[in-house]
Structure 1
Amino acid sequence: MFTITKLSPAIGADVANIDLSRLAESKDCTVVAALREALQKHFVLRFRSQYLSPDEFVSLASAFGHTKTLKRATATTSAHLGGHPQIKVVSNVSNDDGRPIGDGGSSENYWHTDGTYLPQPVELTFLYGRESPKINPPKTFFMSLSEVHDRLPRCLTSYLRELSCIHYSQYNFAPEYAEQIAALPEGADRRHIGPSFPLVRLNPHSGRPSLYLPRQRQCLIEGLTSEESAKLSDLLWTYVEAYDDTWGDVIGVDDLFVFDNGYTLHRREAFHSSERRVLWHITTEGEPPIPYALAS
């Protein structure tokens, strides 16, 4: 059976003595359940030296849930691996004709959660390293939003639990809202279009509260004015940026990282644009967050 080694007090664990290609083939329910339990405890799992074909990668992710693409509406078709629409290529590399082979760049990718702008938000993200810079490869860092919540002043958490935020998409990634956005006049404020989710969600596995922040800091908080929303958002991000109990490492070639978007943030360091970095990216569909206020 596989072994688990904790990587930091708050988040992250290494999983060893497991062949994910075999799990992709068998989809052994017992092993999948045990890995899910580990994810619920550690939020991020790292598997080193895994050798997966595209078909095996898709099969592995599908053992954990319904796979969902997060391809950007503005990206070219090459942003997905040929013949595998579930696999988004995350890369700064371009073809000889100048077209990017993937979705991404080499600048810093700041703290965020994947897919919160969808009515059915993303649950798990699978990142599989295919190429990594030889010089100063970037680290990807993770933090627990349950831990961040627990460090907030109690008077603030009591206030937050009654609030919901509209998770709009700056780039129109969500097809569910395409018609509404298209109907807006050019330059109109679109921040009111998107799903509304609680700022504090319940983790049903642990019973703990967790912050649930939109990627766009200028999102509207229901019941507050635009100015009030901005002030509260700035305050929350001040606490996020001050939180230092994070864990991160390089996603090397053949490394697979799996993490739960519901209760974490992640970011990636910048790296030199001349260095090649290629990842395969798959997400699974989750459920709308449960407001912690309903459980307390």
Structure 2
Amino acid sequence: MSQFGWGARDISAPKRQALRRVPAARGLLLEDVESGWVGEVVRVEKSGGLRMVVLEDRRGKTRSFRTGYGFLLEGEPVELTEPVATAAAPATPVRSASGSRLVTGLKARTARASRIWVEGKHDAELVEKVWGHDLRVEGIVVEPLHGVDDLAAAVRGFAPGPQRKLGILVDHLVTGSKEARIAAEAMRVPGAAGHVLIVGHPYIDVWQAIRPKVLGISAWPVVPRGTDWKTGILKGLGWEHATVTDVALGWKRLLGQVNSYADLEPSLLARVEEVIDFLTAGDHRD
């Protein structure tokens, strides 16, 4: 018999009285009538095909009980039911899209003189989407070049030095390519050595740095020789491709599928991280 005068058999029999039904909400303080165990609900779980409620006492010890009848809430016998499903509050993210630890409550650093240059607008937008948080924390600005044919002249005009470093990301930077020759020429500009880092990925365009599986395909479409690459890609995907607007909308659609570094090819990830490390080497925030 419990201190309230009910035997375990009486209170566990639903036909004797209609008890108030109470969802097993976390933090609810209950007493198990049969054992006298008093504790807060910490979770509800399934065990052996039965729904069990786990109660934690004031010493931090826990015991599991079958949900249903046999509980007291503030001295009143109740029927313990399944917890009411509620929309979970969005978890505060601890990682940025690049996988770095998210810095909260910190104003963007004043932009430093050093820069990251990328070939075009699409490259800049992709880098911003994945590494934007990191770049603002470090005060690094990404600027599109709109082509690298005059890269040496652009580097010369930038006048790189110890406080004005350049990290340059080039498309299709592979041995023997036109881009490789352009990069070598740019590195011969006075002041470039030690203050300019040119890296690249093997793809014709930064679009290919997005993993195909993100789009639900096994590989990027093959574009026939003589066909504009972006137009050919969109056509191969079965998307609108006839106009400049179609290409722009196609890119927005692609970019919209990218949510984090996991959606990009490792060859691009490594190069961008290398550039950020180069520009911030030896830097210490107060």
State the TM-score bracket (shorter-chain normalisation): under 0.3
Q: Which protein shows a greater Rg? A: 2
Greater relative CO (CA pairs within 8 A, separation 6+): 1
Greater strand percent: which structure?
1
TM-score when normalising by structure 1:
0.23
